[in-house]
Structure 1
Amino acid sequence: MRVGIVMPLADLRGGAELMMLHLLRANKQLTNIEYTLVFFENGPLVKEAEKLGYSVNIYHTGKLRQFGRYVSTVFSLFQWMKRENIDIVMSWMSKAHLYAGPAAWLARIDAIWFQHGTPDMDFLEKCLKYIPAKAVLCPSQAAKESQSRNNPKLRTIVIYPAVDLREYDPSALPPSKEVRKTLGLPVKSRIVGIVARLQRWKGIHIFVEAAALVAKDHPDIHFVIVGGNHRSEPDYPDELASQALSLGIANKIYFAGHQANVSSWIHSVDILVHCTVGIEPFGMVIIEGMALGKAVIAAKAGGPLEIVTHSENGLLVPPNDAAELSMAILKLIEEPEYYTELCSAGLNRAKAFSTERLSNDMAEFLESLRIGA
């Protein structure tokens, strides 16, 4: 079966982009699904797809309000679908379906699209309700429930994201102390880390506040924040730095910025924190931490509830609650046997989110569409 994937982004900074790369890599082991790709921009993901041997086209769409460019892109996609003999077209993000959906309707091809977030009824979501689709994919039950409320008549399917367990294999990396030396982090101190883009809904300010509370009891502990700035919130990084300074812990927090070698940074910490204050659609970084044998603490809302079983393979804390987060960190620091148990259980839990599982789940769903199941 030939499946066309339409992707608006070509960077490799977000979870949606990484999930697509994981799918493309793992799918090379299958013979029943053949993907062909269209991107709306050039970038690292395009190069990775080409390295893997996939057919890639790039169509620059311009702004959505440029009606002439919009029509031209839809027609180009229609021609591409016909030329490539595509059986099903999959828009990898909601924006892509604004273009690929009408093109698929013209080509009389089934269209599906991926809702990677928890939608609100903005202009984009309202438009999507009127564009034909066979189904919409979601990364978690939490995202599915949100999507179903927006459009209850549309079939919704959960396809969980994945982590490349080879990349996040602690036995394939140097010992964490050596990694710390390379990264310029304290070798002997315990380190608590968070990996997230610097956006307010990611709750980095909650992490900083909790760090200050932990430091009162354990002044030897250090903290690291790994994640780049986001153009929608250019002032947030400076706010975080000012917050750390005002709380008296500026010398204990390291702002690493955007890093390509995320696995090394996670491997360097003892405890990995996820503390979004909004609804997290999934929480891939939680799996990455588990796969590297780290104790994880996650916000008790949305996707993390489908990954973490509280006190069994990680800890869950209420969102937007620095005091509860600090107590969870202290529990792991002060109870080493319990800490070790959670690390081991998390490592085992991560195996359920392999890239092979992602590829097989996607192939099974696509085959079911073809036979009309």
Structure 2
Amino acid sequence: MARLLFVLHEASRTGAPFTQLHLMRWLKQHTQHKMLILLLKGGALEPEFAEVAQVHVVHPPYVPGQSLQIRAWNRLGQFYRSHEDRALAIARAFQADLIFANTAVALSYAATLKQQLRLPLISSLHELEITFYYCSATEFRRAAEQVDAFMMGSEAVQQYYIQQFEVEPARTHLIYDFTGPVPAQLTPPAQDIRARYGLEPGTLLVGGMATLIWRKGPELFLTVAQQVAQQLPNVHFIWVGGDPKSATYQELQRDVRLLGLQDRVTLAGNQADIASYYAAFDVFLLTSREDPFPLVCLEAALYETPVLCFANSGGMPEFVRDDAGVVVPYLDTAAMAANTIALLQDERRRLQLGRTARQRVLDEHTIEAVGPAILHLIESTLSTSSAG
């Protein structure tokens, strides 16, 4: 039995936290390892993490009250330092054998813990170039020197860090990102999405699902919708994700209105019941400019929905290939629209691509499929560290 200290940047309902949760649940079920997770920020998944391990939030929210700005900043620094000291004390008391840092954002803190606790460190990476528009590449490079083994979420991710950060290939391990456990029979949808939005029963649905940030390309989704709508009358586009109160959401709604697509496009905002949307989609569009290996595509594929994505946009072309959807040239919305139309008009091909996509997820991209490889990486890193 080992004691595993996990470090994660936040507990939001997004890809990396979900993969972390799937992994920890699997480890709890299949091993005797003890687990502690340090969250740099909290989030909606905190209660679910607490069901499988001890949880500590390193940086809880700080409210400076009525203090003057400079005093507030000074107090903020003291506040964070005090909580980091407490987190370190909790980590010491846990007596961990290994640190597992999930995401590039969490690595700097994890590397500091490694130096303080003198433990081996595994870094699970999913991010690509755009992350380092917002985070320090210099700080990451310094922290990466402390890593014993890197777990790369796609080949695109692996090659990026080898080429851009000169990470030694021998320290990298390609283990694709994954979904949680998949039941033998998918749960029937809880709601009829077509009925919910007043659509005819036979309406074809094209879906997208993500936050509304530039990297995800929601405006490209609208461009494809416009081009498809000009040629096919019985198609509706639905984008799930984003806060309807946000400025970005309002900007996109404005585009929908000015493009005359009010009856052809729905910006659904954040939804709790995403399974019903997956079940309703006939085609799934990944319009991201960059995405390491998005779980939404794997989840859509489980419902036998083919995926369309851009080449040179991350790891999804590695999944789609030429038999689980269609890969079109980078940001070529005309090609994406043309292939969307072709699939919507060819039910036999669409269903075949969808069946292949589902089987590929089941064979290669569930926690049951990749869990043993992750466990082997953890235990081999522990063994190597002990031998050293």
Give the TM-score of the pair, scaled to structure 2: 0.85
The alpha carbon displacement at 1:15 in A equals 0.8
* Whole-angstrom distance in 1 between the partners of 2:163 and 2:80: 29
Q: Is the 8 A contact 2:228 2:341 kept in 1?
A: yes
Alignment partner of 1:59 is 2:58: yes
Using a 3 Å threshold, how does the CA distance of structure 1 residues 81 and 304 change in structure 2: closer, same or farther? same
Amino acid at match of 2:180: D
- Give the one of 80, 85, 96 matched to 2:106: 96
Alignment length, in residue pairs?
365
Q: Match of 1:331, SS?
A: helix
- What root-mean-square deviation, in Å, do the aligned CA atoms of Structure 1 and Structure 2 show? 2.7
Amino acid at match of 1:126: T
Alignment partner of 1:189 is 2:203: yes
* Whole-angstrom distance in 1 between the partners of 2:265 and 2:77: 48
The alpha carbon displacement at 1:349 in A equals 1.2
Amino acid at match of 2:56: N
Q: Match of 2:224, SS?
A: helix
2:69 corresponds in structure 1 to none
Q: Match of 2:41, SS?
A: coil
The alpha carbon displacement at 1:242 in A equals 2.4
2:70 corresponds in structure 1 to none
Using a 3 Å threshold, how does the CA distance of structure 1 residues 61 and 111 change in structure 2: closer, same or farther? farther
Q: Match of 2:136, SS?
A: helix
Q: Is the 8 A contact 1:74 1:99 kept in 2?
A: no
Alignment of 1:186-265 (within 5 A): 186-229=200-243, 234-265=246-277
Using a 3 Å threshold, how does the CA distance of structure 1 residues 175 and 218 change in structure 2: closer, same or farther? farther
2:188 corresponds in structure 1 to 173
Identity over aligned residues, as a percent?
23
Amino acid at match of 1:166: V
Q: Is the 8 A contact 2:3 2:96 kept in 1?
A: yes
2:279 corresponds in structure 1 to 267
Q: Is the 8 A contact 1:286 1:298 kept in 2?
A: no
The alpha carbon displacement at 1:284 in A equals 1.6
- Give the one of 330, 336, 358 matched to 2:370: 358
Alignment partner of 1:41 is 2:47: no
1:158 corresponds in structure 2 to 174
2:8 corresponds in structure 1 to 7
Alignment of 1:126-141 (within 5 A): 126-131=138-143, 132-141=146-155
Amino acid at match of 1:194: G
Gaps of 5+ in 2: 63-72
Alignment partner of 1:82 is 2:92: yes
For residues 252-302 of structure 1, give each alpha carbon's deviation from its aligned partner in whole angstroms, at most 9, with x where no partner exists.
11110011222211111111111112x221122111111111122122222
Give the TM-score of the pair, scaled to structure 1: 0.88
* Whole-angstrom distance in 2 between the partners of 1:186 and 1:15: 33
Q: Match of 1:26, SS?
A: helix
Alignment partner of 1:276 is 2:276: no
Gaps of 5+ in 1: none
2:68 corresponds in structure 1 to none
Q: Is the 8 A contact 2:3 2:95 kept in 1?
A: yes
* Whole-angstrom distance in 2 between the partners of 1:292 and 1:86: 40
